[in-house]
């Protein structure tokens, strides 16, 4: 874990438009160590992937559970870690700031705050409150002896509000409120990304999905960071499902090809 006061500055320097930082999301110590061994420069947590390790769905973990997990992963490798803090487990700005402070104490180099309210009937905070929450998060991220990178997330597309104009307006407000990195998960259409990138002056992160442009195409658009969310975690679970079904339904062991690849990797990455 990087314990230097300027660990956020180093992490932010990795965000270069046209040379996007590939930042995979780890879900436990083993995945963090394994991903670090494969040459990545930074890692992120994943709320959904972590919840899955406890047999739960995304959004079901408490603040204490998430912060303990963040501390665990921050100490697992020397790479900068960006923490997925969901809505920071608070509606009001003061609570958001407190969660950011706790994450800094846990050893992160960066963290995120999203504008999802948790209320399925009114899922996105109104813009004034959302911006105030980002402002409080930015003050906490930048105002202490250790400064970290704050990513502000506009969650419209995840929650069925495919309103690009509102999403851009939100990211512009979050930029003005002090966010270092801007993120609108599920905005992957090249035309929409061009409009978004042209409208803001901060590094933009993209969550890659099955239909997203390639890394090279995202780089050409000017994207600064790429993450995978919970996809690596659920892909690992998918591999288990495939292997289990083969064993149970076919009585064969083709999964050993994948097991051999994994075995080589973990023996190289893990210590006794």
Is residue 235 one of the residues assigned to a domain?
no
Distance CA 271, CA 164 (A): 47
**CATH number, domain with residue 140:** 3.20.20.60
Overall domain count for the chain: 1
Q: Which residue, among 190, 213, 182, has the nearest Cα to 15 in the 3D structure?
A: 182
pLDDT in tens, 36-47: 999 999 999 999
pLDDT in tens, 98-153: 999 999 999 999 999 999 999 999 999 999 999 999 999 999 999 999 999 999 99
Which H or E element spans position 110? strand 110-114
Is residue 180 one of the residues assigned to a domain?
yes
pLDDT value at residue 168:
98
First to last CA, the chain: 19
Is residue 156 one of the residues assigned to a domain?
yes
Nearby residues of 44 by Cβ (< 8 Å), 6 or more positions away: 23, 24, 25, 26, 81, 82, 83, 84, 227
Query: C-alpha angle with apex 85: 80 to 91, nearest 5 degrees?
Result: 145
Whether 170 shows a pLDDT value over 90: the answer reads: yes
Q: What is the mean pLDDT of residues 82-105?
A: 98
pLDDT value at residue 166:
98
Is residue 234 one of the residues assigned to a domain?
no
Total-model pTM: 0.96
Name the percent of the chain lying above pLDDT 70.
99
Helix, strand and coil content of the chain, in percent to the nearest 5, comes to: 50, 10, 40
pLDDT value at residue 105:
97
Is residue 248 one of the residues assigned to a domain?
no
3-state secondary structure of 267: helix
Distance CA 134, CA 162 (A): 21
What is the rounded average pLDDT for all residues in the chain? 97
Contacts 24+ apart (CB under 8 A), 201-207: 201/175, 202/175, 203/12, 203/15, 203/16, 203/17, 204/17, 205/23, 205/151, 205/181, 206/20, 207/183
H/E/C letters for each residue in 123-155?
Answer: CECCHHHHHHHHHHHHHHHHCCCCCCEEEEECC
Whether 257 shows a pLDDT value over 80: the answer reads: yes
Is residue 263 one of the residues assigned to a domain?
no
Q: What is the mean pLDDT of residues 248-260?
A: 97
Top pLDDT among 6 and 2 is at 6
Is residue 166 one of the residues assigned to a domain?
yes
pLDDT in tens, 204-248: 999 999 999 999 999 999 999 999 999 999 999 999 999 999 999
Distance CA 79, CA 65 (A): 22
Is residue 252 one of the residues assigned to a domain?
no
pLDDT value at residue 7:
84
Q: Which residue, among 125, 107, 108, has the nearest Cα to 116 in the 3D structure?
A: 125
Q: For 240, what's the count of Cα atoms within 13 Å in the CB-facing half-sphere?
A: 6
Q: Around Cβ 140, how many Cβ atoms within 10 Å?
A: 26
Distance CA 97, CA 72 (A): 21
Which residue range is the domain that position 63 belongs to? 7-229
């Amino acid at each position: 874990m990087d314990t230097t006061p300027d660990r956020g500055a180093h992490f932010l320097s990795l965000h270069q438009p046209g040379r996007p930082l590939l930042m995979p999301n780890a879900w436990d110590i083993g995945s963090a160590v394994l991903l670090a061994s494969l040459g990545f420069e930074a890692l992120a947590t994943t709320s959904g992937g972590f919840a899955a390790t406890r047999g739960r769905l995304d959004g079901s973990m408490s603040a204490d559970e998430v912060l303990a997990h963040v501390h665990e992963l921050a100490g697992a490798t020397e790479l900068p870690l960006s923490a997925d803090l969901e809505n920071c487990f608070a509606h009001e700005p003061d609570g958001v700031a407190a969660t950011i402070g706790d994450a800094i104490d846990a050893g992160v180099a960066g963290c995120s705050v999203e504008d999802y309210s948790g209320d399925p009937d009114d899922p996105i905070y109104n813009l004034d409150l959302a911006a105030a929450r980002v402002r409080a998060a930015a003050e906490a991220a930048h105002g202490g002896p250790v400064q970290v990178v704050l990513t502000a997330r506009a969650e419209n597309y995840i929650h069925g509000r495919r309103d690009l104009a509102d999403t851009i307006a939100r990211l512009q407000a979050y930029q003005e409120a002090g966010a270092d990195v801007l993120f609108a998960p599920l905005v992957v259409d090249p035309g929409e990304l061009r409009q978004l990138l042209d409208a803001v002056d901060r590094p933009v992160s993209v969550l890659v999905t099955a239909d997203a442009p390639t890394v090279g195409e995202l780089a050409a658009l000017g994207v600064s960071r790429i993450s995978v969310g919970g996809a690596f975690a659920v892909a690992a679970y998918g591999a288990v499902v495939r292997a289990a079904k083969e064993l149970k339904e076919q009585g064969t062991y083709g999964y050993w090809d994948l097991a051999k690849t994994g075995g080589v990797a973990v023996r190289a990455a893990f210590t006794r």
